[in-house]
Amino acid sequence: MFLSSSTVEIYSLAFMLICSGICFIPPLLADRGYVWNSVIMAHEGASATLSCFESPPASSVLVTWKVMPVEGDRWSYLLSAKCNHGWTDGHKSIVFEDRTFEISTDASLIFKASAPGLYNCVIEHGDKRQQEKTVLLALVKLTVTPAPPVMVHRTLRLTAQVSPPSVDAWGTWVSPWGERLYTEITRATGVLLSKLPRVTSRDNGVYTCRIGVHGNSGTSVSEHRMNVTVNGKVFSFTDLTHEKPRSMASISHSLVTLSCPPVLGDYVLLYWEYPDSTKMELIFQFNRWRRSLTNRSMPHLHLIEPTTLAAAGNFSFLLKPALKDGGRYLCEVFLDDKAFSQDNRLSVLHGYTKRSPSSLDLTCSYSQRSQVRLVRWSHVQNPSRPLQSAGVIGRIKTSVALPVTPETAGEYACTLYLKNGNSVQYIYSVQMSNIGTTVVPGSAVPPADNVSTSSRVSTLSLLLFVIPMIAIAVGVLLWRQGYCITRRSVEQSLSRHSGEVENIYENPDDLRQTSPQGAVYMDLKPTGEMDVYKELDRYDQCCS
């Protein structure tokens, strides 16, 4: 079938206006209005056979084959032959553009596949056209990089490139054990790519690329295989790129971002060097091709994986660190045989309080001291007010005298300054309404687990104030009731020995000589640990 260039342009323009940006128009053949009934996939350089019809014709017919290259715009005649019950006559072969084309006994076209293109077969009986069929020949080129045998720890690339890209192929790579590998498809270039990072000897075997294409007569799937071998030698990365180190600080239990090199790699490794030490271990690894993730020791560490093209190359981690999680975090990203590293040095500032009868102690601890320039306490509302601080390596403390006064109330800030000029601040609020004149010793109270850099007096302070007040009120009530109870709870006995002083407050025999008539004298002795001495008047009355 032949269409003039002007007709094709008119059809193409009309189709584009109708789509209005909604449809995708493949390039090359399809955007010029050409369609095909089926697609044949062939390896470059392999023999290709294109059939004209499924079963031999019942009568003698004329079969004509034409070809049009992908970049062309018109059909070129190849050959024709009469076909009748399994035999053909006429030209059996022809050389066209340095390629030899042959026609078989069933009118199929046989040639060596070296370039993609459209092939048109027309069947005529007499002067009447009975059937027409157009076949798109697409080439598949398989490559393995690096070429086998592959060294251990290298990244193996499995690539299948389909030409022309307008065939809109889809598919996946499959491992020797039938496992579907993660495959990325770039439709603009017709590439189906899968990778095997950190190759081991277990990756030996035959890998299959299953490719599907769509045609007017249905969908066809073809399989193409490549053999991969791995030798025992270990690869050493020599192409290394080091990004500028980062120095940062964070309040404990708040979110902090650990950056990785700005490249969308094949896999990511994160190492952690303990704070203020040289001990380093691998704590996290992620392989985006094998879809494997390992987090060894930090459940509060999470990988942020790029999910869109705009975010590609932005691997990073989110960490909610405790004081002990400071230190050096080394992120390494590997792309093919190249390695990129990013050094993150993190200091963590942790504040807490401790109460005593006379003072409220405010303490800041910090890790990764090697990058810290200064840590100090200050009064936020009155920065010029001097505060006395006591410190040791990795910790600094200041105290607020109790009871709290208007001068000592307010917010106290512990500020950590890094050598690069960055700083982070922990704030604790001391209020008169929260801390009274009576304070009992308390245990250390860590700050709340949130992303705020401020810490407030906890509800424990309020409890320490309310409980003594309740105890005093209850004591007054019990004392009032005890006025009556005491009279029944003490042991009463008349003194019979004038020379023996049984009461430490008075001598009964001496008092009898001068007391008014009718008075009763008693020795008061405690009957328990909670009893008190009380002088009773016989005329006092109690309410029961």
Please give the DSSP secondary-structure letter assigned to residue 160: E
Domain 351-462 fold is Immunoglobulin-like (2.60.40)
The mean of the pLDDT values for the chain is: 77
Over residues 326-357, the pLDDT tens digits come to 999 999 999 999 999 999 999 999 999 999 99
- 122 pLDDT exceeds 60? yes
Nearest to 346 by CA among 370, 364, 315: 370
Q: Name the pTM for this structure.
A: 0.67
- 531 pLDDT exceeds 50? no
The three-state secondary structure class of 175 is: coil
Q: Where residue 447 falls among pLDDT bands split at 50, 70, 90?
A: very low
Nearest to 531 by CA among 473, 467, 478: 478
Q: Round to the nearest angstrom and report the end-to-end CA distance of the chain.
A: 121
Domain 5-138 fold is Immunoglobulin-like (2.60.40)
Residue recorded with tokens 């869109």? 308
> According to the model, what pLDDT value does residue 470 have?
55
- The ranges of the chain annotated as CATH 2.60.40.10 are 5-138, 351-462
Residues 416 and 369 sit within 8 Å (Cβ to Cβ) = no
Which DSSP helix (H) or strand (E) runs through 115?
A: none
Over residues 511-526, the pLDDT tens digits come to 344 444 443 333 333 4
Distance, CA of 83 to CA of 86 (rounded, Å): 7
Residues 200 and 173 sit within 8 Å (Cβ to Cβ) = no
Q: CA separation (Å) from 285 to 124, 309, 506? A: 65, 22, 87
Q: Where residue 32 falls among pLDDT bands split at 50, 70, 90?
A: low
CB-based contacts of 58-62 (< 8 A; 24+ apart in sequence): 59/84, 59/125, 60/84, 60/125, 61/123, 61/124, 61/125, 61/130, 62/123, 62/124, 62/125
Over residues 137-195, the pLDDT tens digits come to 999 999 999 999 999 999 999 999 999 988 888 999 999 999 999 999 998 899 999 99
The CA-based angle 106-111-113, given to 5 degrees, is: 135
